[in-house]
Amino acid sequence: MKSGTMSVSTRRSMELIDITRQVYAALTDAAVRDGVCILFNPHTTAGLTINEGADPDVKSDIIDGFRNIVPLAHPFKHLEGNSPAHIMASLMGSSLTIAILDGAPQLGTWQKIFFCEFDGPRTRKVHYHFIEG
């Protein structure tokens, strides 16, 4: 198994950051040809997802959708005031598992890997593990 951590800097309170190139670069450095890629986000107010990366409107639609699903102005009890971010992160999830074949993540034609910020801007981490097999 080959492991590491990548850094992701966000600029807005809510945004999706395409980290696909960073994952490819880490995979190339690890020289794994076939196996599994596990990505883990150790933050409680951010998530990970795979979705369409060709049309930038998809990212904004996802953020707008979350804003409609989770009431930002609800009187939450959590003292930090970021309960909506915790809920959105729980809905999105904190990890991804992606098959690796011939040295590349097996993504669909339009798919990209996104870090989902819900409580930014911040500097975040994503841990990766490549398991050869």
Instruction: Inform me whether the pLDDT recorded for 81 exceeds 90.
Output: no
Hey, how many other C-beta atoms are within 10 angstroms of the C-beta on 73? 6
pLDDT on residue 101: 98
**Overall average pLDDT of the 107-125 stretch:** 98
The CATH topology of domain 2-132 is Jelly Rolls (2.60.120)
Rounded Cα distance, 121 and 13, in Å: 5
Closest CA to 89 of 45, 125, 48: 45
Rounded Cα distance, 80 and 78, in Å: 6
The residue ranges of every structural domain in the chain are 2-132
Rounded Cα distance, 2 and 14, in Å: 31
Instruction: Inform me whether the pLDDT recorded for 72 exceeds 90.
Output: no
Residues, the chain, total? 133
* pLDDT 10s digits, 8-67: 999 999 999 999 999 999 999 999 999 999 999 999 999 999 999 999 999 999 999 999
